[in-house]
């Protein structure tokens, strides 16, 4: 029987890839990346209020949601941001106090924290993770 180093190396690479594939599928999800932003054009200060979903800022997350709060004319709002996964955002206006966004990702995902309430003129973040149960 003849052993060729090239054949042996190729088989080792293929076997390694096959053994690693299930692990990689659960630890390095592949999602479309990029930002989706909701802004309020009627900010009272010179600053722009926004909520956005963008690339993850936490190593285990699949996306990060950022809320920058400035004085916003009053009204509650609900909308969807499309990033790695679509997330439902509920904006809760508190009339001069710190406003809140409530983040609801689709089934199989979790937002931590589920609500962001930064102070006026401040920015808060939440991260979207794959829910592993428990």
Residue 1 CB-density burial (10 A; 0-12 exposed, 13-18 middle, 19+ buried):
exposed
What is the phi-psi region of residue 44: left when phi exceeds 0, alpha when psi lies from -120 to 50, beta otherwise? alpha
* pLDDT one-digit tens code per residue, 66-99: 999 887 767 888 999 998 899 999 999 888 788 9
The residue among 73, 101, 107 whose CA lies nearest residue 89 is 101
What are the extents of the domains in the chain? 36-130
pLDDT digits (tens, 9 = 90+) for 109-134: 999 999 999 988 899 999 999 998 87
| Neighbouring C-beta atoms of residue 128, cutoff 10 Å | 25
């Amino acid at each position: 029987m003849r052993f060729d180093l090239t054949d042996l190396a190729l088989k080792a690479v293929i076997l390694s890839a096959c053994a690693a594939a299930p692990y990689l599928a659960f630890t390095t999800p592949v999602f479309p990346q990029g930002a989706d932003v909701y802004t309020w054009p009627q900010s009272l200060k010179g600053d722009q209020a926004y909520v956005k979903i963008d690339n993850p800022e936490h190593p285990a997350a699949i996306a990060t949601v950022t809320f920058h709060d400035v004085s916003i004319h009053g009204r509650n709002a609900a909308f969807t941001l499309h990033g790695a996964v679509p997330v439902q955002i509920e904006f809760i206006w508190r009339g001069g106090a710190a406003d809140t966004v409530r983040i609801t990702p689709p089934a199989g995902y979790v937002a931590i924290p589920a609500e962001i309430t930064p102070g006026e003129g401040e920015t808060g973040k939440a991260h979207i993770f794959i829910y592993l149960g428990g």
